[in-house]
Amino acid sequence: MQSRYSEAIELLYTANVFVFLQNTSLQAFHAATATQHLNGIRSVHMHWQVPELTQRVPNLSAPGQSEACRRDSAAIIAAMPHLRQLSVFLQGKPNVYKAYQQLLEGMASGLAHPDFYVARVTPLSPYTAYESGAPEWLEELRSKSGRYGALRVCRSFFKRGWLWHKVNDLGQAPVYHFRVGTLFEPHPSFGEEGTIVRSYVVATRDTP
């Protein structure tokens, strides 16, 4: 019986794409899942958002925005021994690029034998003043050579999702949090950047 259960539960972790829609989702999943199952995961999509985009005073103390959350999440990804596909979608104003940088670098630090690792970042808006260094960083990411180790950083073509003022977390009660992104997977015809397999708009609530 144990072997029959094992053959099925193994498949559950090895043959599905695990999508984490909120910054804290991966940490919660990690806390609730046995290491042996985590080690079986082959494919992950992370949606990372800086939600204080429309707030005059950014609330960087929110659980999902702390440095500890970024470091923990990156470490969890980096420690997955059989992870072969990682797709990251960064939704939000790239003004806080150092947070994104920390996340991507942390993830890339442990990637051993990737088949497909991509990250999508938001583009610059002509209407926003950016923190010094952000435009250069984004340009680097968008360039063909934009890589963090094995992590390939690609352009995001999800144009309308870039309009963060339309999809930003509202900061009101009840609080809805919109995750707007695209999910990429490898495809033999489309090289390293892969192809879109799903666009999503997801409303979650309460905890950013």
Partner 1 sequence: MANVQESIETIGARQRQRCRLLELPAELRMQIWEYSISGHHVAFYDQEGRLAYGVMDDVHMSTPGILLPDSLDNMDNDAFIDIDKHTSEVHRSALSGKNTCFSQRLLPRKVQLTALLKTCHLMCVYILDNPVVYTSTQRSSYAI
Question: Inter-axis angle of helices 25-32 and 67-78, to 10 degrees?
Answer: 50
Could you give the dihedral angle defined by the CA atoms of residues 65, 134, 140 and 147, in that order, rounded to the nearest 10 degrees? -20
Q: Does 4 bind partner 1 (CB under 8 A)?
A: yes
Task: Please work out, in degrees rounded to the nearest 5, the angle formed at the alpha carbon of residue 177 by the alpha carbons of 175 and 182.
Answer: 170
User: In this structure, how many other beta carbons lie within 10 angstroms of the beta carbon of residue 111?
Assistant: 18
Q: Does 36 bind partner 1 (CB under 8 A)?
A: yes
Q: Does 59 bind partner 1 (CB under 8 A)?
A: no
Taking the complex as a whole, how short is the minimal distance between the CB of residue 207 and partner 1, in angstroms? 4
How far is Cα 107 from Cα 152, in angstroms, rounded to an integer?
12
Q: What is the largest CA-CA distance in the chain?
A: 62
Site string for partner 1, 106-145 (x = CB under 8 A): ----------------------------------------
CB of 22 or CB of 65, closer to partner 1: 22
How far is Cα 191 from Cα 178, in angstroms, rounded to an integer?
30
- Cis peptide leading into 81, omega within 30 of 0? no
Q: Does 183 bind partner 1 (CB under 8 A)?
A: yes
Q: Does 72 bind partner 1 (CB under 8 A)?
A: no
How does strand 195-205 pair with strand 176-185?
antiparallel
Selected range binding partner 1 among 74-82, 89-97, 135-143, 182-190, rule: CB under 8 A: 182-190
CB of 105 or CB of 185, closer to partner 1: 185
Q: Which residues bind partner 1 (CB under 8 A)?
A: 1-2, 4-5, 7-9, 11-12, 15-22, 24-26, 28-29, 31-34, 36-37, 45, 154-155, 157-161, 163, 166-167, 170, 174, 176, 178-180, 183, 189-191, 193, 195-207
